[in-house]
Structure 1
Amino acid sequence: MEQVYMVMLIALALLAITDLVVGVSNDAVNFLNSAIGSKAVSLRTIMIVASAGIACGALFSSGMMEIARSGIFIPGMFTFNEVMIIFMAVMIADILLLDVFNSIGLPTSTTVSIVFELLGAAVCLAIYKIVMQNDDMSTLGAYINTTKATQIVVSILLSVALSFTVGALIQYISRLVFTFQFEKKVKYIGAIFGGLAITAITFFMLVKGLKGVSFIPAEVSAWIKEHQLIIIGVSLVFWTTLSQILMSVLKVNILRMIIIIGTFALAMAFAGNDLVNFIGVPIAAYQSYGFYANSGMSADTYLMGELASGEIVAPFYFLLFAGIVMVITLWTSKKARDVIATGVDLSRQGDGAEKFSPNALSRFIVRTSVYAGIGINYFLPKSVQIKIDKQFEQPEVKRKKKDAPAFDMVRASVNLMVASILISIGTSLKLPLSTTYVTFMVAMGTSFADRAWDRESAVYRVAGVFNVIGGWFLTAIVAFIAAAVIAYLLSIGGIVAFVGLLIVAALLLYRSSRIHAKRAREEEEKRKLRTEDIITIHEIVNDSSHHISKVIGKTNKLYSEVVDNLGLQELKKLKKNKKTLKKLEDEVDELKGELFYFIKSLDESSIEASKFYILMLDNLQDMVQSIGYIVKNSYSHVNNNHKNLKFNQIRDLKSIDNDLQVLFDKIKYTFDKESFEDIDNILEEKQELFDRVSNLIQKQIDRIRTTETSPKNTKLYFGLLLETKDLITASMNLLELFRDFYQEYKEVKEKAFPVL
């Protein structure tokens, strides 16, 4: 029987490695968000600093995990076999849960997930034992540490509201002092700001980042705890003086220095403390096995009371290996970049493509905030309003650069400083604050105070924040239920359930990886559609041809699929076509949303091209609307269980589909190969296609007069034919527009560079 537990330990070790990978992918946003968003230093430098922080935190960590061994459940009430089931259930549930969040690009708390997984698995086994022993349910409290669980939930709620409020307040004051033209102000007050920020960050490293570190003597830790005010005072004087020297003598940008130190501190704290979220449970299992092996008792009778005494300290080689895995993951994980992108995107200064859709709650909050602002301005003197607004004036951005910072270094410094202070206070008060909650909500608060959430973007940003917060609380619920279900299956299924769950977990992780890779490719295609770097007519020609080719290709494929699926009454495939249509609509809508920056970015010689670009997008929009009508009405017809189109109708639609495929393939080839001289040949087919569609309309009229009996079929069929005609019209208009523009471009080019 002992061999089974050895296999379980090996499985837990492999699960710990996987958990490290998905955990770092999730928590990287905590310490990389500010540095990457502000672009204070190169990405390579940021990664090196963060890697150093992770390595130090992992090596210096004592690996203690009180929550894993006795913080949530009472180990003395469970046998060794039951404890191993709890730990196995926790690790499987944790990996799957974190991977789901990473795949959709949302940050969540690894602390909360591990806590509620432990709670769910322990509650499940406790209830199972109570039922099997015919005990009263009132004894459940003897198995679970309810006080700790309640404290965690309360601290989560407090940290969300407190972090947002404090972050917003500090950023508002900082912006009033520095303004967006902060370069001049930094020369005079940068040393004081640097002293405050670096003091907060270094103090954070002492009380949070080095908390429980094994190589620091207990007397030193006690002295730090007793003399916190002295440490803060001395640090403030030292760092302020040093900041002034660095700025005056070495011409160091103090804001950049704050960001580098803050990134290192948060990365170190993450590895030093949050590392136990990933390896604490396997190490607790390893220690449990040691106690069990020395007991000489059976696994079903040996109670794990010893697990609550002493410290669970990870061997140095375990920590070294964990640190290596974390650093490698940081450099290689694409999912980590998606999670970071969500945090940066929601806090960026200025508008752009929004990831989240507005909802009723976000609209209500924004509308209420607008009315509240009007009310405050009513009582605030006009001169004060003007002065405040002047402090928040941003420099005009004529051209939206692809690599422009999402926000400036003032906000990045405040993010790191405030997060450090709040986490330090929470740690000193022994509150189990989540670094994810604190860092994310501070970033949201500072972006709100910085007026990044203006009337153009607020409804989307607020919706995004609520989505992330909702995901946090969903984490707790799903973690509890998932771990409970897995623990129950392991209890009743034994080895079979153990092997089966591992296989299922591996398959789900593989499927998740495939889905994420597909989504990453789609995002790359969308990125190629962006127009932020176009400034010349030549670039407009290339970019426009790329857009036309993409939309034509996707429209062609969608039309063919809908005709086939409509004929076969394939409701699921038609539903999938609707999703494809939504992506196409979003791509064209995003292009139209960037028109402002496109027009502003053009050089003086290319201004006239803006009208062409607007008309081109209008024609693309017409094409998408036509194919949209075809897709949506075909789906609705089948979904409502109306009669299928007759064979002759499907055959006629398929003939038009074949004609369109030939046409669209020619258009796509022309724009892919930039053979724009062939456009005239394609345009000659316009009337012939129109005539074919008109003939089919006449045939349907004849059917109505003779054999057609379904008004729903007639409505759908006429709609499809008329929208097909509109689709052809929009396509031909697009070709004519591009042909005329390209001819003008060639003439201008020949005049500027005549052939000798």
Structure 2
Amino acid sequence: MGDPYILMLIALAVLAIVDLVVGVSNDAVNFLNSAIGSKAISVKNIMIIASVGVFFGAVTSSGMMEVARKGIFNPSMFVFQDVMFIFMAVMITDILLLDIFNSLGMPTSTTVSIVFELLGSAVVIALIKIANNDAESLSAIWNYINYETATDIILGILLSVVVAFTVGAIVQYFSRLIYSFNFENRATYINALFGGFAITSITYFIIIKGLKGTDFYGNIASLLEGNTAQIIGISFLIWTALCYFIIRFLKVNILVLIIGVGTFSLAMAFAGNDLVNFIGVPIAALNSYEAWSISGVEPVLFSMGSLAKKVPSNIWLLLLAGAIMVVTLWTSSKAKSVIETGINLSRQGEGHEKFQPNNISRVVVRVSMFLNKGITFLIPKKTQNYINTKFEKPVLKLPKDKTYEMPAFDLVRASVNLIMASVLISIATSMKLPLSTTYVTFMVAMGTSLADRAWGRESAVYRVAGVLNVIGGWFLTAIIAFTAAGIIAYLISLHMAAIPALLILVAVLIGRNTLKHRKKSKEVKKKTYLERAELITINGVIEESADHISQVIYRVSKLYTHVVNDLANHDLNKLRKTEKHVKKLNDEIDDLKDGVFYFIKSLDETSVQASRFYIMVLGYLQDAAQSISYISRASYKHVNNNHKNLKKGQIKDLKTIDEELTELLEKESKIFENRQLDDLNALIIEKNTLLINVSTSIEKQVSRIRTDETSPKNTTLYFSILLETKDLISALMNLLKTYEEFHLTTKQ
């Protein structure tokens, strides 16, 4: 009987490693955002500091492992087989859930996911036990579940979201009034006081959050407990004096030091607090197996009351987990996506917005603007002017080819992010309140960015939509985690054969998500955002636009061929897929047009001609994309409405046009790809010939209508395709003429 459970332990060990990887990818956002966004320290040094913090936190995390064993359910009410089913369901669900969020680039809470997975799977197994026991009613569920813990977690979510956002906004507002954006010019004593407060908060956070529950903390607990105020007061005086010395005599920027120490502390807290979310369940399963294997009792009869006892964690397992977390931190591309989401939503300047606005975000922004007008009316004009001077951003005169080095926000905001996250988590931990490090760090960052006037009229609606999406994802995490873990636990309880099937499903889905993420990352690398340093000369404009034209023409050619072939075969599914690709092309060209402002600003000379040329190129590309979009949409609608197939003569004409167009567009794409821009004139002549052929096809259809055409719907579709094909060719001809003129002018 032991063999299946040994295999389950092996599976849980593998799942724990995978969970560590996807978990770190998700939670790296908590402690890297502020340092990376401010560019106070080089990325390499940030990663080294964070790695040390993560490794140290992992080693000191043994005190947190009790949650998986007895925090959510009462182990004495379950037998060995029950808890093994619960633990398998939890790990499978957790990996799938976190990997999906990571692939989307959305930060979520590993604490909430693990708690609700334990809760969901334990509830289902408990209901099965109650259903099989005539002596128990449904109300007995409360004997199996520690429902108070789940209630505390939910309240902790709601409280942490509101408190972290509000406190972060208030502290940042007053910090900016004290420092303004010219923090380098502040008096030494102000920097020393700020540094003393910040480092005192962070070191207290390290002691309370990082060490509490470890064996080491037990040695110093008598000194700390009951003396909190005195310890904080003495620490503040010592750190303030030390900061004054460092600033005055060593000429060190204290804000950079705060960011370094803060990054270490949050990395340590993350590992110490959240390691239980990744390996707590497999370790609990190992403890369960050890207790059962020496008992000699059947797995369906052995009570798991032993899990309620405190069991010290294996230090070697913690060291191994820490090493895996550090390696993941350095190598995970998904971690970079999640970090990018947090930085984008809190950055000071404008730029590409990841989230689209929705009705709720629009209403929130309008209400905020209305309230702002009311507050402005109440505050005296002099006070307003004084406050506005503190929020005036200095004009940084960087060379245009260095604008990509601009930080997302400054050192003051990065310091406040780290200080307030540390303080809030410390307070909650000392009060024994459950708290998610993800929720606190993310919402503090959002609060500070709002107070810092980073959400202007140009970006507010996108940023609010992003925050609402992330918060919605958090609550969705709890619901999905509870439901999915419950379903998986039920499937496993039906038969153990479900376990290998579910493990194969996990492997397939994670592999698929990884491949999709890599493909998406490559597309993003190809996709050009117009703040890039290369766009600084006239030649840069030619290079950039030639790349865009080559890519768009190649894709338009493929899409046109797909539409013609799918329409000939009356294939609705393929037409639907083509429609999605067409929409994607249109969205990308819209993004390029949205970036025209940044493109014009990035030119190193005030060339009206270059700007005009680039705008016209994008306009013609958009015309071409809209033509193929109309052709695709009309074809899909025709087939979806079950209208008659096009006639053989019509299909033959379309395929002839498609062959000629494909040959022409391939030549055009290669000319732009290889920069053979002197060959454009010959291509313009060929395009004129193709236009004549399309006009001939229109005349043929007119003749058909007079003789044998009986379907008005076919006629409408056929004319629509031919007319849009003419527009498509015309747009590309105009593009070629514009490009040829500009190329010749540039050469001269």
Judge same fold: TM > 0.5, yes or no.
yes
Aligned equivalents of 1:208, 1:341: Cα separation in 2? 27
* Cα offsets for 1:75-107 (capped at 9, x unmatched): 000001101111111111111111111111111
What is the alpha-carbon distance in structure 2 between the residues aligned to residue 214 and residue 188 of structure 1?
Answer: 39
Structure 1 stretch 551-560 or stretch 148-157: which is displaced more? 551-560
Match in the other structure for 2:180: 179
CA distance in 1, matches of 2:69, 2:95: 19
Shift of 1:528: 6.7
Distance 1:224 1:650, change over 3 A: farther
- Answer yes or no: is the 8 Å Cα contact 2:25–2:332 preserved in 1: yes
CA contact (8 A) 1:199 1:236 kept: yes
Q: Displacement of 1:357 after TM fit?
A: 1.1
Deviation at 1:387, TM superposition (A): 2.4
Partner in structure 2 of residue 524 of structure 1: 525
Asked if the contact 1:643/1:713 (under 8 Å) is kept, the reply is: yes
Tell me what 2:335 maps to.
Answer: 336
Structure 2 Cα separation of the partners of residues 63 and 23 of structure 1: 19
Q: Report what 1:41 is aligned to.
A: 41
Which residue number corresponds to residue 595 of structure 1?
A: 596
Q: What is the distance in 2 between the residues matched to 1:111 and 1:368?
A: 33
| Aligned 8 A contact 1:562 1:577 in 2 | yes
Give secondary structure in 2 for the equivalent of 1:604.
coil
For residues 17-43 of structure 1, the C-alpha deviation after alignment (integer angstroms, 9 at most, x for no partner) is: 111011001000000011111111111
1:239 aligned onto 2:265: no
Distance 1:583-1:222 versus aligned 2 partners, 3 A rule: farther
Match of 1:750 in 2: none
Which residue of 2 is the match for residue 256 of structure 1?
256
Post-superposition offset of 1:423:
0.5
Structure 2: which amino acid aligns with 1:26?
A: N
Matched to 1:14, the amino acid is V
Give the conservation status (yes or no) of the 8 Å contact 2:621–2:731. yes
Match of 1:754 in 2: none
2:73 is aligned with 1:61: no
Contact 1:63/1:312 (8 A) holds in 2 = no
Shift of 1:432: 0.8
Number of aligned positions between the proteins: 744
The 3 A distance-change label for structure 1 pair 638 and 191 is farther
365-374 or 375-384: bigger deviation? 375-384
Structure 2 residue aligned with 1:229: 229
- Offset at residue 720 of structure 1 (A): 1.4
Give CA-to-partner distance per residue, 1:56-84, whole Å, 9 cap, x none.
Answer: 11122225322211111010000011011
Q: Give, as a single letter, the amino acid of the residue that structure 2 aligns with 1:196.
A: F
1:542 equivalent to 2:572? Answer no
Confirm or deny: 8 A CA contact 2:87 2:282 kept in the other structure. yes
Say whether residues 1:132 and 2:132 are aligned partners.
Answer: yes
Determine if contact 2:404/2:532 at 8 Å carries over to the other structure. Answer: no
Any idea what the Cα deviations from partners look like across 1:572-591, whole Å, max 9, x if unmatched?
A: 22222222222222222222
Q: CA RMSD in A?
A: 1.6
| Structure 2 CA distance for aligned equivalents of residues 322 and 595 of structure 1 | 47
The code of the aligned residue for 1:681 comes to A
For the residues of structure 2 that align with 1:221 and 1:403, how far apart are their CA atoms?
Answer: 46
1:355 aligns with 2:354: yes
Question: In the alignment, is residue 406 of structure 1 matched against residue 405 of structure 2?
Answer: no
Secondary structure in 1 matching 2:710: coil
CA distance in 1, matches of 2:164, 2:174: 16
Alignment of 1:562-601 (within 5 A): 562-601=563-602
Length-normalised TM-score, structure 1: 0.96
State the one-letter code of the partner of 1:108.
T
In the other structure, the counterpart of 1:431 is: 433
1:732 is displaced (CA, Å) by 1.1
Quote the offset at 1:306 in angstroms.
1.5
Cα displacement (A) at 1:532:
5.4
Tell me how far apart the structure 2 counterparts of residues 698 and 22 of structure 1 sit (CA, whole Å): 61
Aligned to 2:32: 32
Equivalent position of 2:326 in the other structure: 327
5 Å matches for 1:3-18? 3-18=3-18
For 1:166 and 1:577, locate their aligned partners in 2 and report how far apart those are by CA, in whole Å.
49
Displacement after TM superposition at 1:650 (Å): 2.1
Q: Could you say what secondary structure the match of 1:301 adopts?
A: coil
Instruction: Give 1:722's aligned residue.
Output: 723
Q: Distance in 2 between matches of 1:206 and 1:441?
A: 23
Distance in 2 (CA, whole Å) between partners of 1:286 and 1:485 is: 23
Are the equivalent residues in 1 in contact too, given 2:530–2:598 (CA < 8 A)?
Answer: no
Query: Which amino acid counterpart does residue 32 of structure 1 have in structure 2?
Result: L
What's the counterpart of residue 660 of structure 2?
659
- Amino acid in structure 2 at the alignment position of 1:406: A
**Structure 2: gaps spanning 5 or more residues:** none
* Residue 495 of structure 2: aligned partner: 493
> Contact (CA 8 Å) 1:96, 1:509: kept in 2 or not?
yes
Query: How far off is 1:642 after superposition?
Result: 2.7
* Moved beyond 6 Å, runs of 4+: none
Shift in alpha-carbon separation, 1:732–1:178, aligned structure 2, 3 A:
same
Show CA shifts across 1:565-620 (max 9, x none).
Answer: 22222222222222222222222222222221221221236453111111111111
Say whether 1:159 aligns with 2:147: no
Cα separation, 2, equivalents of 1:639 and 1:186: 72
Quick one: distance in 1 between partners of 2:366 and 2:529?
35
SS in 2 for 1:298: coil
- Once residues 269 and 172 of structure 2 are traced to their aligned partners in structure 1, the CA distance between those partners, rounded to angstroms, is 23
User: TM-score when scaled to structure 2?
Assistant: 0.97
Going from structure 1 to structure 2, the CA distance change for 1:222 and 1:607 (only over 3 Å counts) comes to farther
1:473 to 462, 472, 475: 475
Q: 1:336 to 1:587 in 2, by over 3 A?
A: same
C-alpha offsets along residues 332-358 of structure 1, whole Å, 9 cap, x if unaligned? 111111111111111111211111111
Give the whole-Å Cα distance in 2 for the aligned partners of 1:140 and 1:299: 22
1:628 corresponds to which residue?
A: 629
What code does the residue aligned with 1:746 have? Answer: K
- Quote the residue 1:709 is aligned against: 710
Secondary structure of the residue aligned to 2:27 is helix
Whole-Å separation in 1 of the counterparts to 2:151 and 2:26: 25
Q: Which residue of 2 aligns with 1:420?
A: 422
Mapped pair 1:744 → 2:745: yes
Is the alpha carbon distance of 1:190 and 1:636 closer, same or farther for their aligned partners in structure 2, counting shifts above 3 Å? farther
Find the residue that maps to 2:186 and give its secondary structure.
Answer: helix
Report the Cα distance in structure 2 between the residues aligned to 1:586 and 1:353, rounded to whole angstroms.
13
* Residue 302 of structure 1 pairs with residue 302 of structure 2: yes
Deviations, residues 117-171 of structure 1 (Å, cap 9, x unaligned): 0000100000001111133111111100011111111110110111111111111
Partner residue in 2 for 1:446 = 448
Tell whether 2:147 aligns with 1:120. no
Give percent identity, aligned residues only: 57
- Give the equivalent residue in structure 2 for 1:389: 388
The answer to whether the aligner puts 1:290 opposite 2:283 as a matched pair is no
Aligned match of 1:751: none
Cα distance between partner residues in 1 of 2:459 and 2:533: 18
Structure-2 residue corresponding to 1:753:
none
CA, structure 1 residues 223+578, in 2 after alignment: closer, same or farther (shift >3 Å)? farther
Say if 1:303 and 1:615 are closer, same or farther in 2 by CA, change over 3 A: same
* Cα distance in 1, alignment partners of residues 273 and 674 from structure 2: 56
Q: In structure 1, what is the Cα distance between the partners aligned to 2:433 and 2:303?
A: 30
CA distance in 2, matches of 1:528, 1:461: 19
Q: Would you say 1:456 and 2:458 are equivalent positions?
A: yes
Are the aligned partners of 1:532 and 1:594 in contact in 2 as well (CA < 8 Å)?
no
How big is each residue's C-alpha offset from its partner over 1:700-755, in whole Å with a ceiling of 9 and x where there is no partner? Answer: 222222222333222222221111111111111111111111111111xxxxxxxx
Q: Is this contact kept in 1: 2:421–2:444, CA < 8 A?
A: yes
1:361, distance to aligned residue in structure 2 (A):
0.6
